[in-house]
Amino acid sequence: MIHLPKSHEGCTKPTAHDSASAPIPVLMPEAPLGVALIGTGFMGKCHAMAWRNVATVFGGAHPRLEILCDTPIDKAEAFGAQFGFARATSDWQATVRDARVDVVSITAPNGLHRPMAEAAIAAGKHVWLEKPMALTLADARAMADLAAQHPGQMTILGYNYLRSPAFQAARAMIGAGAIGTPRAFRGVYDEDYSADPDLPWSWRMTHEAGGLGALGDLGCHLVSHMIALMGPVAELTAMTQIAIPERPSPDGPRPVENEDSAIALLRFASGAHGTFATSRVAHGRKCRLQWEVQGSEGTLVFDQENMNELWVHRMGEAGFTRHLTGPSQPDFAPFCPAPGHNFGFNEQKVIEARDLLAAIAGGANAGPDFASGLEIERVIHAMAASGGTRVKLGAEL
């Protein structure tokens, strides 16, 4: 069903509700799959909630929560009990080889992504890996190559912000021409989790365990939105900044090795252009994944801090119209029958688990998988390397 604002009656342009028109049938596994979860921090708990809820929301067999891995072992045992896993261990290599495990969720720090994901694929498992893929572009490319050699095993990356009903609706609207031809993208992803200079040094601030800084932590999410809305990036120019060069640690001040913020100008393969900015030291910004797409016939605006709203302007209207998230948008109704009753961050992860299970059951992989995730890595590493000079994104990057 297409809902049109009064001022546009007779017009055939779709609105934020259009993508609801036909529910997409989703395949789900009929037999329970065994799940291993590595890591119990922010994302570990998020994956655990998703695995516990995915069949409740979307149907199919409930996954078996087989084994939880963290270090040290007493932490693994405590969280294993809390999250409802049958067993706990501190040995990730044994975890990915475990005979009762079909799928491995990897939520460990970035420096462990490549060894863990490669070992899981080599052991015949499906992999759900948190972003960014790896520390370096070479590592990400090697992982994508290995995954390509195992086409029967599904991979999916933790780009949860692609799953929200409002984002899916926005993408469908742009695809359907609701704002005409996209001409410009203006995107920001800012947070302030590192803005306090007294925040202790952590693995996230090193090349060895974190890889990139704000680009790998936040910027990659904005790139995932940007590519999904605008298509591939053809060229860019970027600059990075380390705003706080040292952080306190028990051993005294330690250097921050990766960028606190980055800005970029981009040209897309379509000819449209874009601006991009990301920061982990932006006071007051909590999850400001905010963008607008300006098209030849209108503009669409989204901000993750208000993730249940899409703002739409179409040529001739006086201003913007607020579209509230509701069951007519993709993937909202299985959670809640009532519009405006708000969708949340963790629910995005339930959809992500559903996407992986649907691919394992034989459906299309909604991705990004390791192959399409490599596109995102190419862009963030090109930004990190640009140093203010123009970088063309060819296959050789």
Binding residues (CB under 6 A) for ligand NAD: these are 38-44, 69-71, 92, 107-110, 112, 130-131, 158, 160, 217
The answer to whether 143 and 114 are in contact (CB under 8 A) is yes
CA distance 380 to 223: 8
Give 322's strand partners: 311
User: Smallest distance from the beta carbon of 203 to ligand NAD, in angstroms?
Assistant: 7
User: Smallest distance from the beta carbon of 109 to ligand NAD, in angstroms?
Assistant: 6
Residue closer to ligand NAD, measured from CB, 67 or 178: 67
The answer to whether 217 and 109 are in contact (CB under 8 A) is no
Residue closer to ligand NAD, measured from CB, 209 or 336: 209
User: Smallest distance from the beta carbon of 71 to ligand NAD, in angstroms?
Assistant: 5
Could you tell me which of 281, 280, 278, 282 has the C-alpha nearest to residue 291?
278
CA distance 191 to 232: 25
Residue closer to ligand NAD, measured from CB, 312 or 366: 366
CB atoms within 10 A of CB 355: 25
Could you tell me which of 319, 304, 309 has the C-alpha nearest to residue 339?
309
Residue closer to ligand NAD, measured from CB, 111 or 326: 111
Residue closer to ligand NAD, measured from CB, 107 or 155: 107
Residue whose beta carbon is closest to ligand NAD = 41
Our measurement of the distance from residue 357's CA atom to the centroid of its chain's CA atoms, rounded to an integer in Å, reads 17
Give 236's strand partners: 266, 391
DSSP state of 209: T
User: Smallest distance from the beta carbon of 10 to ligand NAD, in angstroms?
Assistant: 42
Residue closer to ligand NAD, measured from CB, 76 or 230: 76
Cis peptide before 368 (omega within 30 of 0): yes
As given in the structure block, the two tokens for residue 64 are 């078996």
User: Smallest distance from the beta carbon of 43 to ligand NAD, in angstroms?
Assistant: 4
User: Smallest distance from the beta carbon of 378 to ligand NAD, in angstroms?
Assistant: 18
